[in-house]
A and B are shown apart, each in its own frame.
Chain A
Amino acid sequence: EFRRFSLERSKPGKFEEFYGLLQHVHKIPNVDVLVGYTDIHGDLLPINNDDNYHKAVSTANPLLRIFIQRKEDADYSAFGTDTMTRKKNVLSNVLRPDNHKKKPHIVISMPQDFRPVSSIIDVDILPETHRRVRLYKYGTDKPLGFYIRDGSSIRVTPHGLEKVPGIFISRLVPGGLAQSTGLLAVNDEVLEVNGIEVSGKSLDQVTDMMIANSRNLIITVRPANQRNNVVRNSRTSGSSGQSTESSLPSSTPNILGNLLQGEEESDEEDIIIEDSGEPQQIPKAAPTSESIESLSQIELLHESTQNGFLPSSEMNLNHSAGSISMEYEAPEPGRKSLEEDGTIITL
């Protein structure tokens, strides 16, 4: 089945609305589908969130061709680089996937199933002896699962070797995030918590800092076991170049910076229940969210005033953007109880 309809390029709206629209025009309101499109390189790419939906709309030139698959029949392997050039007929591929089962593809899960996971980060900017670990609690039921204690460590200072107090990992809870990811080990020395040095802070202070950041905890440690360190190709490579003085805590680059802060902002939205209704995320008030979002909005607007509506449009989509409440922006995945009752799309 093929459908053609138009979208307002300047106000593409939300993915959810778009998805509803697709279900509506295909008259499949209760069927889960995968949505894909071909980008300018001919790759078949998924549309499953606001970002790639906006990207798809903005790169449509002039036509946005969209493929819809029933979710249970979906061939995930179809997505990816070179999909369109490799397989001339995607549709046949989609409809008769068995023909192409000769070579097993590496199955990559859908981006919608992606979530940030715990990992070692900033390897390129940290001294080799240090390790920066992100424990991503979000979306798992696992406890963080570790304990910290006071201790002392030997530091190289201008006055020679000195014993200084430090904070150490004292215990891992079996099955906890720390233990199961293997990112932290007993006796690792904690140097920073979310970019803030712990030297001079008490055990209780560091505990409170970690708990306050528990939803996205980034700990810089000096692992007790220094044998598993990342070995760089040459000492001069990498952006830090500080490996020679790595034992100095002061040399720890404090470049956690804005990226982390920014990420952190988005992951911790409070929830409001109005008039005993359903819980919703509390959005940011307009002035503070100006920075990137509004900027891209302006660009889009600019583009659309040049192009007007997409020429290929057959149906006009009256998008009542005004009625769309900010509160439904970026719903938390996993928070299934969220309902979207404020969205109104008229055709």
Chain B
Amino acid sequence: MRRFLRPGHDPVRERLKRDLFQFNKTVEHGFPHQPSALGYSPFLRLMAIGTRSGAIKLYGAPGVEFMGLHEENNTVMQIHFIPDQCQLVTLLDDNSLHLWSLKQQGGASELREEHRFTLKGPPGSPPSATQVTAVLPHSSREVLYLGTESGSIFVVELPSFRVLEDRTITPEAVLQRMPEDNCNRRSCELVEALREHPKNPDQILIGYSRGLIVLWDLQNNKATHHFLGSQQLENLYWQRDGSKFISCHYDGSYTQWPVSSDNRQPEPLENTVPYGPFPCKAISKIYWQTTKNGLPYIIFQGGMPRASYGDRHSISVIHGSQQTAFDFTSRVIDFFIIFTSDPAAEFDDPSALVVLAEEELVVIDLKSAGWPAVHPPYLASLHCSAITCSHHVSNIPLKLWERIISAGSKQNVHYSSMPWPIDGGTNIAPDPPQRDLLLTGHEDGTVRFWDASGVCLHLLYKLSTVRVFLTDADPNDNMNTLGEDEWPPLRKVGTFDPYSDDPRLGIQKIYLCKYSGYLAVAGTAGQVLVMELNDEDAEHVVDHAEADLLQDQEGYRWKGHEKLKTRDGPVQFEAGFQPFVLVQCQPPAVVTSLALHSEWKLVAFGTSHGFGLFDHQQKQLVFVKCTLHPSDQLALEGPLSRVKSLKKSLRQSFRRIRRSRVSSRKRRGGGGNASEVQEANAKFDQDALQEMELAPVQRKIEARSAEDSFTGFVRTLYFADTFLRDSSRHCPSLWAGTNGGTVYAFCLRVPPAERRMDEPVRAEQAKEIQLMHRAPVVGILVLDGRSTPLPEPLEVAHDLSKSPDMQGSHQLLVVSEEQFKVFTLPKVSSKLKLKLTALEGCRVRKVTVANFGSCKTDDYSENDLAVLTNLGDIQIISLPFLKLQIRYPCIRKEDVSGIASCVFTKYGQGFYLISPSEFERFSLSTKWLVEPRCIVDMPEVTSNNHVHNRPGTENAARKS
């Protein structure tokens, strides 16, 4: 009758489940994918970043973060904070305007969308009449000025977005008092920039795309001055005192204009092409910042000589004789300057330059000599080199934490010591409950150590494994060494560097023992490095061993990449984790599993050919086991074959072609030649369509067999001290699970500590289990006599875990992609199983044991399995009874890389990549929750009667 009792009918358990489990996506770490707009409020000292997917993110002091998402998922084009308010306006590429505000709710601030608005012209007018190109929030906080493609400037009331039609500034009105010979309707097409006078809120500066600049008097509704620029206008900037303004142009020049009170036709004071005389690219934005010593800071984006440096993404800073062109690693989206926040101050006195590039945020300290970069506490570019794997370690002991930080600080000496300049808002989140490390492995052979304890994912230390190997890239080849007289004075800034010298260096598996400081790292070319933390720089030889995983199998030829060449002789290592042992698998296939036992000083590694065990104390290979099926040619010959996916990718590319042709056809208008092309396209479409109908997406239904490919692929390795041979004696053991559903168990004999160096470690195969369903084994776990998972190595020695129960009988949990099975030990008989795939059609992608504490009582906690399936669902399954507790949809099932990147923590949290540069953090626990909680208060406004001697709000007006 038991099978009729459905789980979830026990009210006590149901209540407990509510106290234990809760799913929340809490915060996004890293750098926003495809940023498209930047805004800054000097009043709130908050920065806003908009993205192409319609997200808007606000950042202030570390821990102060807000996120909003536009329903339309359209690209955010511009962001403007309303002066002296907790409000901002966004302009999307669908021409809609959105008003967001920070409101306090339940003790914390929240970002909410208040209103949306799309400018509508009179009936029959072309769309360009209302296409917004420039936005100016007026310092009165009551109105927004919207410049459009047609040249009209509309005035809308805030926060209602009501159009004040009588106040519209039409091109006709602007041209009224123009000198006759320049009076051309076309000179008022497209409003490029709108700037409010820094001292007189009744005057605004209007810049038109063709070069005409007009100072408009809002009171009298008339133009007071016309500035006749001859070059196509890019942007405008008022000087602090309002006596001059700067215009920058498409031809790479900028011009200073005086604003006088008389009615003379104004003439430019100065016209400069900073990188002339050869044709230059546009200067798209410019700042002119005054200082006490009289020398202004002129900061502008672009303007590089078109022919030789036209591909650079640069921002130039000129201060007296100092000039530097900061050369960014990716396209500059926008930038702003942080300067004095005191409205009464006489000078701008800029302190920092904040640049949003497409792939990273760079902040330059303008106060310190040499203009060093500031290390950002958030918005880290996780993808400086593509992330290839991640590993999370919870609850790091303080000692190790401090040593890692100290090693990291030695790497960061070239950063400025300036405190983080964007410091608005107050972080009111409780301190993180523990110190957590997230380790990311990268394609370029580096491992980055991130502080993952709190909301700000902060880089602590970066480890490179490249030094151990000889690679093609010359380490002394420094692109940045430029002589004194180099022109333009380019200086490379930023860390984004997606180009890997050698793909074999890529990190695939990481294992860190937090108690001993041992770190094992394994890579794409079968390399396994064991490292130790050293607080000093050191030069030493890395012991080198080879593990021939094919052993006696003969007649096979590896067609994949070669193994990495090692450096002979001693290698210089900087303080931090320093490798002392290198094991290279032969054939040099990618390492697919890794386990380290710091107490026994053993490291186990597996590839698609087999697995091996290495004694890193004696520096001896203990044994290797070939898991390869003799008929498995694919695994033998080289990197995972693309045979299967080829068909699929062909099909997909067919579809893509089709889609792009369809859309391009939509865009294209009529025309003689076009119709011909259209016809050809239509024919092509039809052919492609027919092809697809002939071969619909279908799936073969076939039982897996021992002969399938990659059955020998080692998926998981596990060390356990358990009863393998008989129930009276337990011994160290190594377990391995393969893609073909085989589990191998080896009995290990590790000499006692006093004879550890004298006697060899021995291993003997004790068991081999073949799961009949042959699904890949993704997890192996031994439960002790109390059905508790065995503790990690050294956990008991550090008094951080109860010693395992060696009295009661142990159980073995084998998790395959399809089933969970509990077996008894030492005699293997099946005890329990959960057939996940047969019931639900989903497969296990990731599985970890997690400890869940109750939010009601401190003294209750339990261990469960946290499981991520190929459908992107997260399931919690109880131990040891394998009952499904709860299920949450988490990742879209189409997001394969997101699912593949997921890591669970030991306390029921997790991370997965939502883009190459961003981790989403989630929590399954009611108890451990790391999420931003912060307050943004309105700073005291020094004077209430709007003394507008502050140059308004940063206006990040950009067109792309």
Q: Which residues of chain A have a CB within 8 Å of any CB of chain B?
A: 137, 143-150, 170-171, 194, 196, 201-215, 217, 258, 261, 268-276, 279, 282-288, 326-327
Contact = CB atoms under 8 A, between A and B. Distances in A.
Given A285-B823, A286-B829, 6 more contacts: A148-B699, A196-B840, A196-B841, A209-B840, A271-B770, A283-B829
Contacts of A283: 829-830
B831 interface: yes
Contacts of A284: 829-831
Contacts of A203: 697, 699
B841 A206 contact: yes
Contacts of A214: 701-704
B808 to A, nearest CB: 14
A277 to B, nearest CB: 10
Nearest to A167: B699
Interface of B: 3, 696-704, 765-773, 775, 818-819, 821, 823-824, 828-832, 835, 837-843, 870-871, 893
B327 to A, nearest CB: 46
Contacts of B839: 196, 209
A318 B821 CA distance: 37
B884 to A, nearest CB: 15
Contact of B818 (A171, A212, A274): A212
A132 B37 CA distance: 59
B701 A144 contact: yes
15 contacts: A137-B703, A144-B701, A149-B697, A149-B699, A150-B697, A207-B699, A211-B703, A270-B821, A270-B830, A272-B828, A274-B828, A282-B823, A283-B830, A285-B823, A285-B831
A209 B839 CA distance: 7
Contact of A146 (B3, B701, B771, B837): B701
A149 B696 contact: yes
Contacts of B893: 202
Contacts of B843: 208
B766 to A, nearest CB: 6
B698 A282 contact: no
Given A147-B699, A261-B3, A282 B830 contact: yes
A145 B700 CA distance: 8
A144 B842 contact: no
Given A282-B823, A285-B830, A143 B702 contact: yes
B831 A207 contact: no
A286 B809 CA distance: 14
The binding surface of chain B is classed by DSSP as mixed
A268 B3 contact: no
The binding surface of chain A is classed by DSSP as mixed
A146 B696 CA distance: 14
Contacts of A271: 769-770, 772
B832 A288 contact: yes
Contacts of A274: 766-767, 828
B700 A147 contact: yes
B699 A272 contact: no
The 3 tightest CB contacts between A and B, nearest first, are A205-B841, A214-B703, A212-B837
Most buried by B among A149, A204, A258, A272: A272
A170 B698 contact: yes
Nearest to A274: B767
B829 to A, nearest CB: 4
A288 B837 contact: no
B701 A210 contact: yes
A291 B691 CA distance: 56
A209 B837 contact: yes
A273 B769 CA distance: 6
A269 B830 contact: yes
B723 to A, nearest CB: 13
Contacts of A207: 699, 701, 841
A275 B830 contact: no
A76 B203 CA distance: 112
A212 B829 contact: no
Nearest to A265: B833
Contacts of A269: 772, 830
A211 B704 contact: yes
B831 A148 contact: no
Given A205-B841, A209-B838, A213-B838, A270 B702 contact: no
A284 B830 CA distance: 5
A273 B767 CA distance: 6
Contact of A276 (B765, B819, B830, B842): B765
A250 to B, nearest CB: 19
Given A149-B698, A282-B823, A287 B770 contact: no
Contacts of A258: 3
B318 to A, nearest CB: 59
Given A148-B699, A282-B823, A287-B831, A208 B772 contact: no
A149 B697 CA distance: 6
Contacts of A143: 702-703
